[in-house]
Every structure is written in C-alpha cells, then in structure tokens.
C-alpha cells in the first residue's frame, strides 16, 4: 500500500527486510520503497490522520545522549524544515517577454498597462507517515541481585540503552538508504539526469573500459582525474537556472537552480579514497571534491552487493499523480548529486516510555515509539552517476 495518503503506515516488516540486507544476513532482494517514501504530488488528498495515544511514563532523553553509532546517509530535516514543504509552491516561468515598443511609438495607439498575466504555479504536496516501535524488558529482582553497587548498575543500564540506541540509529540509516534508493530508482525509470561515466569517458578517449578494467593500474589514475573534473562540471551546471536534471510535471515550465550550499553528494567511498590518494596528491587542490557537501557511501542497499540497488520505486507521472514504477535493478551505482530539498526525512512524536511495574512478575517494559516521514521530489534537481 502506498504511503501517499492521509494515513499512518506501519513499516515494521519492511524495516526487518532492510535490516537483514544491510547487515549481510540475507542477499539483496527488491524492496518496495513506494510503501514508505512520500512522493511530491499535485493531487489533493482528503481524510483523517489518526494520532496515536502516548504511552505511560517518561524515561528521559538522557538515555540517548551517548550514541556510539551515528547513522549515515544524512538526509534528515528538522520538523520545521519538513513541515514547511508538506505543501510546496513553485513558480513557472512566464512566456518570453514581448517587444517593448517604447522607442517606436505608433500614432493613435493606446498601450494597455493593465493587461493581466497570472503567475503559473505548481503546487505539490506530501502525504503519509510511517510508525515504528521497539521495546525491551527489565526484571526488578535481577537488578537487585546481579550488581555489586550503584556504579555497576549504572554501567548495565547505560550499555542496555546504548544497544537499543545503536539499533535505532541503524534502522533509521537503513530507511534513509532506501529513501535515496527510491529516488535513484525513480530517476532511472524516468531516464532523467542519468550520467553514464564510463560511456562518456570511452567516447572521449576512444577506449573500451569496463567497470572492471577501469580499476587496472594503467587506467585508474587518468579515469578518476576525469571523474573528479566531470563531477565538478555537473555540480556547477546544477547552479545554473534551467530545467536540466529535474522532472517537469503537470505541464509547468519550472526552471530551478541549486547553489553549492544546497547541494549534497553521496559517492562510493572507494572512489573517494582513490581520488584522495591518487588524484589529489597530483593536483593543486587537496579537497576530495571542490564544491558540494560530500558523504562517502560504502554500500547503497546490501552490504554484500555494494554497487547495486533493487527497488520498486514511488514516482510521479506527467500529470503530477503518484504512481508506482516497475521494479528497478540498477547496477554500478557510483554516486548521486541532489538538491537537499529533493530527498528528506523527518522523525517526530518520538518517545521513550516505561510501563509500570508488573506486580506479579516484577518486571517493567521500556517502549520506544516514533513517527517517521520520508519524501522524494523529482521536480527538484538530481543527478545519478553510473559506472557503465
């Protein structure tokens, strides 16, 4: 069921699938990311959005102050940032300006300065959210007899909360990964903003390199120097106000630009390492890439198949209606350059609560609940880099 409606979706099953793939306990398999990624749509939804009741007592946010594991795939937005784009207004360009006539006045002509030209507006909306919960049990008598003193008890509680925090961080990372994978799958399905690096390089050089032979010592340095230059060129093109690298929907002529400060790059970590050690050492500049915010990605979806994604993506058609594309298997994913507003995630109504003590069995449960939102907007700029 698509999440693009005024309804809360429970995503525990898809989270379990993502977790087993990400941790290498199962092989990569198609994931229906349309079940939780909200796509920008021009369709107006109506209905009731139910609110879950709070659980009982507050354990305290101090349990989450120590986070040895920090999630990757930084697409998180604050609640204010996410709330501001639940309804996004974009303005289309007006027709080409008319001739002035100022210096060629015509007798008996009365120019009308009150001619109406309404702004052409694209209005998109994001619907739906997903819920997640987790819990663990603490036995009172075990706490009483198992520890020598308060310091040991504190260490036990801290380690227990760190474990649930680490697991929570990884689940959020995996959902972020899949939100990015949905965007890539939708872009590939639309054939929009897809850059085939090896094909371009081979066409320029007359070579016939493959995704394997490009890593041979004689090819590696020259190719990755060219890749760095190509990425910088693409990044600069995104700053130009144009219709490149974005999907036009609802018949609106929307031209956008993405300044460097609003660009985000996810690139294969092994490629960044090569650029850092083999390219930057022979160039004047020593930054990995010159302009945008760059994050190295060890794998896109499955840790055993790091360069591949398999998704059934949520997308949008030419009329601005949300659709589910056919299943996409994308190989040799090298990187992604995108506008920060094109891919986002938000976590809110997030709580940790303790139950009361079970008087019969002398234990209590600690519950973690959160409500999550994930969005893709194909009308914003995005470039998919493939090593093919």
DSSP 216-238: SHHHHHHHHHHHHHHHHHHHHHH
Q: How many residues does the chain have?
A: 388
Asked if 339 and 239 count as a contact pair (C-beta separation under 8 A), the reply is no
pLDDT for the residue numbered 59: 29
CA end-to-end distance (rounded Å), the chain = 33
Does this model's pTM top 0.85? My answer is: no
Rounded-to-integer distance, Cα 383 and Cα 336, Å: 6
pLDDT number for residue 167: 80
Q: What is the pLDDT of residue 67?
A: 44
- Asked whether residue 163 is domain-assigned, the answer is yes
Which residues of the chain carry a pLDDT beneath 70? 1-19, 21-25, 28-31, 33-37, 39-69, 79-87, 91, 93-103, 117, 123-129, 142-149, 278-291
Q: Tell me whether residue 300 is in a domain.
A: yes
> Residue 101: inside a domain, yes or no?
no
Note whether residue 27 is domain-resident.
Answer: yes
What pLDDT shows up at residue 18?
65
For residues 181 and 174, what is the distance between their CA atoms, to the nearest angstrom?
10
Report the percentage of the chain scoring pLDDT > 90. Answer: 28
Asked if residue 1 belongs to a domain, the reply is no
Q: Is residue 111 part of a domain?
A: no
Range of the domain at 128: 8-92+120-386
- Computed from CA positions of residues 317, 319, 322, 324, in that sequence, does the dihedral angle turn out positive or negative? negative
Token duo for residue 177: 């990964």
336-369 pLDDT per residue, tens: 999 998 998 887 777 888 888 899 988 888 888 8
The structure tokens listed for 331 are 């190989």
Residue 99 lies in a domain: no
Specify if 364 maps to a domain. yes
- What 3-state class would DSSP assign to 42? coil
Domains in the chain: how many in total?
1
3-state secondary structure of 278: helix
* 351-355 LR contacts (CB < 8 Å, sep 24+): 351/54, 351/55, 351/58, 352/58, 352/59, 352/60, 352/61, 352/63, 352/64, 353/54, 353/55, 353/56, 353/57, 353/58, 353/59, 354/56, 354/57, 354/58, 354/59, 355/55, 355/56, 355/57
């Amino acid at each position: 069921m698509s999440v693009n409606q005024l309804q809360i979706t429970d995503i525990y099953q898809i989270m379990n699938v993502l977790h087993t793939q990400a941790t290498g306990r199962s092989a990569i398999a198609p994931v229906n990311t349309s079940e939780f990624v909200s796509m920008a749509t021009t369709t107006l939804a109506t209905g009731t959005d139910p609110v879950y009741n709070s659980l009982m007592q507050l354990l305290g946010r101090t349990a989450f102050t120590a986070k040895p594991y920090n999630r990757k795939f930084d697409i998180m937005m604050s609640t204010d940032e996410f709330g501001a784009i639940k309804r996004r207004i974009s303005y289309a360009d007006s027709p080409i300006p008319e001739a002035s006539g100022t210096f060629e006045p015509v007798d008996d002509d009365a120019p009308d300065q009150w001619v109406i030209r309404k702004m052409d507006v694209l209005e998109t909306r994001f619907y739906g959210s997903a819920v997640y919960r987790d819990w663990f049990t603490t036995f009172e008598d075990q706490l009483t007899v198992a520890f020598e003193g308060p310091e040991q008890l504190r260490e036990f509680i801290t380690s227990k909360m760190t474990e649930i925090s680490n697991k929570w961080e990884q689940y959020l990372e995996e959902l972020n990964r899949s939100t990015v994978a949905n965007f890539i799958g939708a872009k590939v399905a639309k054939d929009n903003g897809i850059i085939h690096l090896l094909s371009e390089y081979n066409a320029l050089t007359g070579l016939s390199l493959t995704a394997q032979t490009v890593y041979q010592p004689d090819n590696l340095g020259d190719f990755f120097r060219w890749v760095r230059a190509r990425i910088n060129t693409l990044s600069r093109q995104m700053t130009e106000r144009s219709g490149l690298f974005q999907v036009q929907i609802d018949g609106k002529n929307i031209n956008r630009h993405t300044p460097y400060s609003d660009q985000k790059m996810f690139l294969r970590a092994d490629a960044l390492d090569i650029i850092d050690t083999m390219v930057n050492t022979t160039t004047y500049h020593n930054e990995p890439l010159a302009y945008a915010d760059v994050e190295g990605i060890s794998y896109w979806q499955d840790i055993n198949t790091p360069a591949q994604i398999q998704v059934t993506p949520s997308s949008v058609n030419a009329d601005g209606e949300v659709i589910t594309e056919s299943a996409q298997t994308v190989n040799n994913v090298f990187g992604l350059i995108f506008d920060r507003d094109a891919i986002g995630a938000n976590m809110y109504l997030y709580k940790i609560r303790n139950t009361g003590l079970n008087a019969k069995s002398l234990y209590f449960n600690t519950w973690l609940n959160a409500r999550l939102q994930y969005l893709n907007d194909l009308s914003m700029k995005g470039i998919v880099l493939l090593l093919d």
